[in-house]
A = this chain, B = another copy of it.
Amino acid sequence: MEIDGKSWKILQAIQADGRISLTELAAKVALSVPAASERLKRLEEAGVVWGYRALVSAEAVGYDVMALVGMTTAQPDKARLIAQLQSMPEVLECLHVTGQDSFILRVVTRNIRHLEQFVGSINHFGETRTSIVMSAPIALRPLAPPGGE
């Protein structure tokens, strides 16, 4: 799918405010409401927009610790590890990556003790390297159009 300038404006607007009304959206991109609606629908159907989420503050709901946990896991254990991670609500994200780590997890816990307990419950799957997040100088930035080819 090709995305022209107007569609990029739509993408940027709905990334900045996922609950924006079609009326506002149309005004922002200088289009009529049905035209904007039609373009947005196409972007959704093409899978360019694959969902809408509210962003909830982990701290505000009682998770005081966020960490990234790298794991080195032997091939035969991977499927079981993923199955277990899926059942653990502390795991917000799990990426299968190249390099020293097999997986990198994004985890939230109530406190350091809870983090220790979490790591303890998975480290029989392989070595773990835990990095505690102190701050987020850049947090979850929206996607911008890729520059010149």
Contacts and interface: CB of A to CB of B under 8 A. Distances in A.
Interface of A is mostly: mixed
Chain copies in complex: 2
Contacts of A3: 61
B68 A95 contact: yes
A52 B50 contact: no
Interface residues of A, number: 65
Contact of A52 (B11, B53, B129): B53
Given A85-B138, A97-B131, A56 B143 contact: yes
A41 interface: no
Contact of A54 (B11, B85, B89): B11
A89 to B, nearest CB: 4
Interface string A13-43: 0110111000000000000000000000000
Interface of A: 1, 3, 11, 14-15, 17-19, 46-58, 60-63, 68, 82, 85-86, 89, 91-101, 103-104, 108, 110, 129-147, 149
9 contacts: A11-B56, A17-B52, A46-B60, A53-B55, A68-B95, A94-B137, A96-B136, A99-B131, A100-B131
